[in-house]
Structure 1
Amino acid sequence: MISPYRGIYAEAAYWNQLNPKQRTLHILEALSRRHLNWVYAGLSAAAAMNLEYTWTLLKDDAVYVVSGPGRQAHTRAQTTPVFVSSDRFCTVRYVLGETTVSVLTTTPARTLVDCALRYPFRVVLGMFDSALRRRLTDADAIIDECDRVRADCGPVFRLLHYADARSENGGESLCRATLIDSGFAVPELQREFTDPDNAWHSRRVDFVWHTDDGRTIVLEYDGMRKYVDPSMTKRRDIQQVVSDEKTRDDMLLRAGVTTVVHATYDDVVTPGALWSKLMDARVPRTDAIPFYEHE
């Protein structure tokens, strides 16, 4: 047995096979049975809502609980209090195995604001993208929450400026945030190209830039699951997956694309790797710095 949180125990074999987000959800479920009035905030609320972010954020093992007027202050070593003056909370339900769990959390808008003020832009953009894609909240509600927070909400407005519900997953959001932080122009998302040799054949790409000199550059984010997950490879071997990728690239070139760039998760998280690929492809730059972008 292991104890991931004071007073909570789990079988080591079962616990070790869980990913960081699943571990967080189990801890919230156990705590919710012991503390019925606890309201989870920040990253804990984001996990319960299944907002998309990198699991590296969960390395601190902290549980974020609302504190404020009329609420007990949480001083336990593994519990981080988040001051919230309002009592606008919501019930979030998620599934663990065959059990549906209900926990109290801050609203989606407040959860996004708290995470935006605590974590870097590049790892929070996926939360904003996924919340907007699933229509959990909207820009007006997020701005309203900023009025209730005694803090500089500049990071929140920057995230709202770049958030895009068309982003299909957290990996694409992380990739887009990384290239924005690296000073590259914001790409168009989910553009569809039609094969000139076969009007019935089309291909939707992740990112595309149209340059002033007439070039069209496509960036495809290829998560590693594409090569190893049977549900995504459709039982094909890696050689066939790579061959199919080249066939798609050839179609894009026939459709007028000048350059096709492929980036993996490792490219995105390795300093300079994605930057080098985009520079080699001559992707337009804004020469931005992380807090002041140009249109």
Structure 2
Amino acid sequence: MYRIPDRSHPSSLLRRPHTTVFGKSKLEEPENRLFKLGFAKKPISSSNNLRPPYLPGFDVDNGTFMHIPQERWTPNGPSPYRRVMRRNSTLDAMLDTAEANGLCLWSGTEVQRQILRRRVTIGELTAVGAQCYARTSYWQALSAEDRLRHLTRSLTLMHPKWVFGGSTAATLLNICDSTRHMRKLHRVIDGNRVPRSTGIIVNHYIEETAPIIIDGARVTPLDRTAFDCARWLGFPDAIAIIDSILRQRLRTKSQLDRSFRLTNGKYRNRALHVLNWATGRTDNGGESFSYGVILEERFMQPQLQVVMPCHNEYGNHDRVDFLWKTPDGRIIVAELDGRIKYRDASMYVNGSLPETIIAEKEREERIRMEVDGFVRFSFAEAYRRTPLIRKLEWAGVPRTTDFRSP
């Protein structure tokens, strides 16, 4: 039996304990002992003149371990040794070329896969999904949309017949900006058998549709993408995409209605229901999502982007996101509190954050003087629903039974 030394003390690996083989005492060689402990790839005898593949930090000439400070974490916890790997000029050139073309790197053989996986182990590369890899520092610097575009371009080159649809196609068509829908890639298949969804790939069956090329990827056309998103996504997410199409004037509501009625697919009534409530008058996807939540929670339908009688110091009238005129004559206003105007320096008033905050407070005060109730909420509150519901109930927004789910 082998006496396993304490691995926290590397020098103990060089002790030469006695082992018993067929009743005889034998002195164990350090090289073979390292192999048995899992540090060498194959046993190496003391007579072998080749340089043994010891772990980093072992001085072969002196037979001692050098102290190496801890610098990396391994999947099994902190390693007492720094994981140093020889530079691969071919791999570096391939990564540079992929980054220059907005692509990920993928492997063609098992040997290449093993090389990439070893780089992932030490943190140099990141496995981004669907057998694609990228430099960790490069991938972390990309936005969610850029990551999705890198993956779709790469998978199109890997699988030339693949077609992307749903929210993935909507992102590439610039009608969806929700990062929540960029974590998965939706692929559409025109066949009787749908492969099982794996990893970040979600497969859907649709009838055969001629794809279009957008940013190096094959995607479903705009009308088909809108139809699929309207029937696959939840009501708030679906109405945000339809609102985006109407807001950008890519299609009119009547054109979408005619297209939806002529397209075959399950849950067509759900798509028509979403289209019925879409207006295209919201300013962004966050307002559209909040509008969908308000309707789905059976609150009275609000007016969108209403111009108020008050105006700022430049003579411009103030606008509000949501406005209700209740049956008893009260006016209630709700505002989606977008945080970007406090973070993006290009949106500052006179280039100053303090002046931006003061201007927003003055605007809110002017609006409060014109209405009977004022509610301010964030997107997170709309997403969680309960905080928004409480605020609207506190303000006295009436409920309705006009909204009907398909």
TM-score normalised to structure 1 length: 0.83
Within-5 A mapping of 1:60-209: 61=184, 63-68=185-190, 77-78=198-199, 79-92=201-214, 101-139=215-253, 140-195=255-310, 200-209=315-324
Residue 212 of structure 1: how far off its partner (Å): 1.8
Q: Determine which structure has more spread, i.e. the larger CA radius of gyration.
A: 2
SS at match of 2:174: coil
* Structure 2 residue corresponding to 1:260, chosen from 374, 377, 388: 374
Rounded to whole Å, the distance in 1 between the matches of 2:394 and 2:194 is 53
**AA aligned opposite 1:85:** E
Gapped regions of structure 2 (runs ≥ 5):
1-124
User: Which residue in the other structure is 1:9 paired with?
Assistant: 133
SS at match of 1:82: strand
**AA aligned opposite 2:198:** A
Residue 261 of structure 1: how far off its partner (Å): 1.5
SS at match of 1:200: coil
Q: Once the two structures are superposed, what CA deviation does each residue of 1:55-88 show, in whole Å capped at 9, x if it has no partner?
A: 22334x3x2223225x996667343333332433
Q: Structure 1 residues 260, 236: closer, same or farther in 2, change over 3 A?
A: farther
* Structure 1 residue corresponding to 2:174, chosen from 43, 50, 64: 50
Gapped regions of structure 1 (runs ≥ 5):
93-100
Residue 6 of structure 1: how far off its partner (Å): 3.3
Please tell me whether the aligned partners of residues 108 and 131 of structure 1 are also in contact (alpha carbons under 8 angstroms).
Answer: no
Higher percent of residues as strand: 1
**AA aligned opposite 1:279:** E
Moved over 4 A (4+): 71-76, 196-199, 287-290
TM-score normalised to structure 2 length: 0.62
Residue 115 of structure 1: how far off its partner (Å): 1.8
Please state if 1:211 is matched with 2:326: yes
User: Which residue in the other structure is 2:391 paired with?
Assistant: 277
Indicate the percent of aligned positions where both proteins have the same amino acid: 26
Q: Higher RCO, 1 or 2 (CA under 8 Å, sep at least 6)?
A: 1
Please tell me whether the aligned partners of residues 217 and 281 of structure 1 are also in contact (alpha carbons under 8 angstroms).
Answer: yes
Please tell me whether the aligned partners of residues 53 and 126 of structure 1 are also in contact (alpha carbons under 8 angstroms).
Answer: no
Rounded to whole Å, the distance in 1 between the matches of 2:130 and 2:240 is 31
User: Which residue in the other structure is 1:225 paired with?
Assistant: 340
**AA aligned opposite 2:229:** C
Q: Which moved more, 1:169-178 or 1:79-88?
A: 79-88
Please tell me whether the aligned partners of residues 257 and 272 of structure 2 are also in contact (alpha carbons under 8 angstroms).
Answer: no
Q: Which moved more, 1:263-272 or 1:183-192?
A: 263-272
Q: Structure 1 residues 267, 64: closer, same or farther in 2, change over 3 A?
A: closer
Please tell me whether the aligned partners of residues 191 and 205 of structure 1 are also in contact (alpha carbons under 8 angstroms).
Answer: yes
Q: Which moved more, 1:8-17 or 1:35-44?
A: 35-44
Residue 45 of structure 1: how far off its partner (Å): 0.5
User: Which residue in the other structure is 1:96 paired with?
Assistant: none
Q: Structure 1 residues 43, 201: closer, same or farther in 2, change over 3 A?
A: closer
Please tell me whether the aligned partners of residues 164 and 219 of structure 2 are also in contact (alpha carbons under 8 angstroms).
Answer: yes
SS at match of 1:284: coil
Q: Structure 1 residues 199, 22: closer, same or farther in 2, change over 3 A?
A: closer
Q: Structure 1 residues 182, 72: closer, same or farther in 2, change over 3 A?
A: closer
Please state if 1:250 is matched with 2:371: no
Please tell me whether the aligned partners of residues 334 and 375 of structure 2 are also in contact (alpha carbons under 8 angstroms).
Answer: yes
Q: Once the two structures are superposed, what CA deviation does each residue of 1:211-233 show, in whole Å capped at 9, x if it has no partner?
A: 22221111111122132222233
Please state if 1:236 is matched with 2:352: yes
* Structure 2 residue corresponding to 1:18, chosen from 142, 148, 152: 142
Please tell me whether the aligned partners of residues 167 and 173 of structure 1 are also in contact (alpha carbons under 8 angstroms).
Answer: yes
Q: Which moved more, 1:157-166 or 1:225-234?
A: 225-234
